[in-house]
């Protein structure tokens, strides 16, 4: 009986100059997705491959023109020129749903990147601090070797030995498979709170990535999203404070609810 496996459709064959891969997939606070999509948009990255897997959610994505597409992960590239290292991005709709899928898909990702001549990977994720909103998020990191950790510390990243935690999903598994394939990899985790989309933390990670990779990243768009998030959080806090000062009848505590 034939079983479906991971498939990578390679649209555009090109040569890369010592590429570095940045992986930003859906996860805590949507930090990885925000970072990858911001880089894709700013640098007008070009899609060159798509990964399909039976381990992704069994659904389709509806498009505005009335058609649809499958759940996928997608590879993009940024050619920097002038002898600078090229950048690849991996983003997508979802991560694998099962432990088996996490092993198979993430191993496939690392193998494919290695075939493209790559030797260094950065995965992006969110670290939940349990707070409602983190105004000054820290950026944590772990690496496959001491050199990777030293490079991160040099640029203000806090090593994860300060945390008692596990890294779940592709952000951790890709780093593990990179080590298996004798490649250098680092996992960058932005401190986030109970937000589905945390632009503030994504900004902190983007600033750190710019230092680590030596690239200039504009933050205007992410600043707009951050400002809107903070406006909504302020409204929510005020509403919560208002509710805390009310009695069960909706009037301020201590106010008689009968008509005098």
**For 40-63, what is the mean pLDDT?**
95
Q: Is the pLDDT of residue 210 over 60?
A: yes
Mean per-residue pLDDT of the chain: 87
CB 29 within 8 A of CB 201: yes
Q: Is the pLDDT of residue 56 over 70?
A: yes
**For 196-208, what is the mean pLDDT?**
93
Summarize pLDDT for 135-164 with one digit per residue, the tens. Answer: 899 999 999 999 999 999 999 999 887 666
**For 232-252, what is the mean pLDDT?**
59
Residue 165: band (very low, low, confident or very high) from pLDDT cuts 50, 70, 90: confident
Residue recorded with tokens 């990702």? 109
Looking at the chain, the whole-number percentage of residues with pLDDT higher than 90 is 68
Higher pLDDT, 165 or 65: 65
Which 3-state string (H, E, C) describes 57-68?
Answer: CCCEEECCCCCE
Burial class (CB in 10 A: 0-12, 13-18, 19+), 159: middle
Q: Is the pLDDT of residue 176 over 70?
A: yes
Say what the pTM is: 0.86
CATH for 7-244 is 3.40.50.10900
């Amino acid at each position: 009986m034939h079983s479906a496996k991971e498939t990578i459709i390679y649209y555009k064959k090109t040569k890369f100059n010592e590429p570095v891969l940045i992986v930003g997939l859906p996860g805590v606070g949507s930090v990885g997705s925000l970072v990858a999509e911001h880089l894709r948009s700013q640098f007008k990255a070009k899609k060159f491959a798509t990964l399909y897997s039976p381990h992704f959610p069994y659904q389709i994505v509806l498009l505005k023109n009335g058609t649809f597409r499958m759940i996928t992960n997608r590879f993009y590239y940024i050619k920097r020129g002038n002898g600078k290292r090229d950048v690849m991005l991996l983003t997508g709709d979802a991560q694998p749903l099962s432990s088996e899928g996490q092993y198979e898909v993430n191993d496939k990702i690392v193998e494919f990147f290695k075939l493209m001549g790559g030797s260094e990977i950065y995965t992006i994720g969110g670290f939940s601090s349990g707070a409602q909103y983190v105004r000054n998020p820290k950026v944590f990191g772990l690496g496959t070797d001491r050199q990777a950790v030293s490079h991160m510390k040099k640029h203000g990243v806090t090593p994860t030995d300060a945390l008692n935690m596990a890294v779940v999903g592709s952000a951790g598994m890709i780093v593990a498979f990179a080590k298996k394939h004798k490649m250098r990899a680092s996992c960058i985790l932005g401190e986030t709170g109970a937000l589905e989309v945390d632009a503030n933390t994504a900004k902190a990670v983007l600033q750190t990535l710019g230092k680590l990779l030596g690239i200039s990243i504009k933050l205007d768009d992410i600043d707009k999203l951050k400002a809107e998030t903070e406006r909504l959080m302020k409204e929510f806090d005020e509403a919560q404070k208002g509710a805390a000062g009310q009695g069960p009848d909706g009037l301020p505590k201590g106010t008689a609810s009968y008509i005098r």
